[in-house]
Structures are given as structure tokens and as C-alpha cells.
Amino acid sequence: MMTWLGTPGVVCALGAGVEAVGRAAFAGDTTGMRAQAGWVNGRVLTLGACTGALPALPRELPAHHHSRNNQLLLAAATQIEAPLRAAIARYGADRVAVVLGTSTSGVNDNAPAFRDLRQHGAWPATYDYRRQALSSPGSFLADWLGTTGPAYTLSTACTSSARALLSAQRLLRLGLCDAVVCGGADTLCRLTINGFATLEAVDDALCTPFSVHRRGINIGEAGVLFLMERDPADANAVALLGGGASSDAWHMSAPDPTGEGARRAMLAALRSADVEAASIGWLNLHGTGTPHNDAMESHATNAVFPNGVPCASTKALTGHTLGAAGALEAALAWITLSASNAEGRLMPHVWDGHPDPALPALEFSTPAHRYAAGRRRVAMSNSFAFGGNNASLVFGGHP
């Protein structure tokens, strides 16, 4: 059974809406990645922030829903509100599910309360744990939409929203609903940024994935939503052909250096989608810019695609949006596959152009690359996370 993803709502460092995001991504525009102080003491970091105004949450919603994370979701939702409301009217509120991914939820909005507790020995009256609960994104969006179908949030670190798309597909295939609002959101968060800095995994300058000079990640934020259906009303819909996941449990924060877990996820995704590796026209790499991730992903990609595949990491354009990364990079793949990309352009790999000679050579996409003419466009997107949690998704344009 085919499942289809309608036009996504998206807000990230590249901009807001698929037209603006696509235009900037095809151009390799890194101007949304900006140096910011104040997140880590004594350092100025390059971060991918959403700089546009975000919509205010409706006052009638409970106060604990009010967080920047949920504002990012609302910004994405309002871009596609008409098809979301139409699906609810078509199927019924109880037949529409909500499945999201996050890693930060509203914890950054609750940070002042923790400072008050430390200074005064008591929580402020405004503190509400539900604001930072991992369930918050799903319950907020269901409340805003008025849906009564399944609504939940996954948190599997940097694969969260990729796994949300897989879970959404599973709900449809099981017949538990007729449409799923799926995606994810993650917010720039002092706790998270300092955590990665403590791991010495953050690059102060713009990240350079797969370069011999790579030093770490840039963190970003994003909100991304899709409407997934079996029979889409959206003529521009892109198919989620399949997906695969694995857990190699190699280390709490480092991947299996051989890339075995990543390789298994990619092969499982190809089997699920019933396509050969040679059918993939573009691979959106996880490509964080850390020495360990890029090394293992190079080995895994070389093993799965021994004849090469045009590929790119888009994290120099958006930052690593953590729990939202899987959905954001699915949206970027969606843009390349959509009919509006008449020329079949691929998004470029933005880096310093100095490959690591110790790694297998990859075919990084440039502005000159195109999907092969006369063939169905098929793309793969990788997401890998702490704990050896791996996910890979395969998407297809209309035949």
C-alpha cells in the first residue's frame, strides 16, 4: 500500500515555506547560519536559527502548550492548514492521527524556572513541567487541530522525526487512521548546545561535513509537518516508498566505526521500498561534520552504493536540527522530487572541498547535478542518532 506526503510546512534557517526553503537550498545559501554569543560561556557559535516572526499560540490553549517549540510547529502547520482542516473534515477527527518527533520539547522555556529554584529554593508560580514533557508537541498539535485519533511524540534523539514518519506510515497500513499529521520540531536550547559543546562535538565556524578539516556540528532549529495519506488530495504529493531502521548500540554517543548499523538501515529501507540501490538518484546524508559520524557514514554509503550515488549533507545550510532533522531532510528530499523542480536539480553539498583521504570517496552533488532524465526520481535520506539508533527513508516522485 502506497503512502503519500503532501506539500510540507517548513520553517528553518533557510526560511519559511517550501518555495523559500527550496530556493535557498538549491543555491547553497548559508546566510541563515549565523554567529551567536550567549549560548556557551566564552564562545561564539555558528547556529541555524529561525529568525522570522513566529505565530503566537491561541490564548484559549492551556498555558503549558506555550513554548517556542510549539510555535515552530504552529508556523509549519499554518502553512498547510487548509489541507489539514480538509482532511479532518473528510475523514473525521477520530480518523486523523498526529505523530511527531522532538528532543528538546519546551525545556528551554522552562530554564528560567530552574534558575529561580536554584536562587530562591522554590519553583515560580509559572512553572509547569508539561511544557517540557516530550509528549507536549503531539498533544499541542492535536488540541490545536481538534483531532481525537492517536496522538504521540517520539524521542529517539536525531532520528526522532524520521521514525515519526515511519510510525505514521505504519498507522495507515494498519488501518488505525486515514491520515496522519507527522513531522517534528526542535528548538535551540542552552542545555543541548552546552551538552554537545561538552562532548567537544561543536564547530564554532560553519561546519564542513566529510572534509579532512571537519571539527563538529552546528546546531539548528526547525519545525516541519506533512499530511500523510493513502489517497492524497494534493497533486504534488511525494510517495514515502519505504524505510528501514536499526540499532547497533555501539556506544552512548559514538557510532559503530564500521558503519554496519547504518548500512543495515539503508539496506532495509531499499528492501522496504522495493527498489535497487542503483535507482536512488540522490542521497541526503546525515553528515553532521563530526569526525566519527562522517567516517562511519562514508564506509556505509560506499558499501551500499559501490558504484556511487550523488549525495550531500545539507547541515551546512540548516544546522543539525536534532529531533527535527529527519523530517527537515525529508522535506528537502520532497522539494527535489516535486513536480515544481522541473529541471530535476539536486541540492549541493556545501563544504570546503577538501576530502579526507582516509575515507572512501563519495560523489558529492553540485549545482550541476540532475536526476536522470526519463526515470522516476527516487531519493534516500539518512538519520543517525546517539546509542546507535539509525533510520533511512526512501521517497519517490510521481511515476
- pLDDT tens-digit map of 353-386: 999 999 999 999 999 999 999 999 999 999 999 8
- Find the catalytic residue in 64, 65, 66, 286: 286
> Which one-letter DSSP state was computed for residue 201?
-
pLDDT(399) > 70: no
Residue 398 annotated to the active site: no
Give the model confidence (pLDDT) of 157-203 as tens digits: 999 999 999 999 999 999 999 999 999 999 999 999 999 999 999 99
What average pLDDT score do residues 392-399 get? 90
Give me the pLDDT at residue 191, please. 94
| DSSP-based three-state secondary structure for 200 | coil
Which residue ranges make up each domain of the chain?
A: 3-396
Mean per-residue pLDDT of the chain = 96
The pLDDT score that the predictor gives to residue 255 is: 79
Residue 328, classed as helix, strand or coil, is helix
Task: Please give the Cα distance from 50 to 88 (Å, whole number).
Answer: 29
Find out if CATH 3.40.47.10 is the number for domain 3-396.
Answer: yes
Q: What pLDDT digit, counting tens, does each position of 114-128 carry?
A: 999 999 999 999 899
The answer to whether residues 99 and 152 touch, using CB atoms and an 8 Å cutoff, is yes
Verify whether residue 354 is a known catalytic residue: no
Active-site residue (options: 66, 320, 349, 369): 320
CB 222 within 8 A of CB 49: no
Is residue 158 annotated as a catalytic residue, yes or no? Answer: yes
Residue of 12, 158, 177, 189 marked catalytic: 158
Whether 234 contacts 6, CB under 8 Å: yes
Taking alpha carbons only, the member of 345, 260, 243 closest to residue 302 is 260
* Pairwise CA distance, residues 316 & 139, whole Å: 32
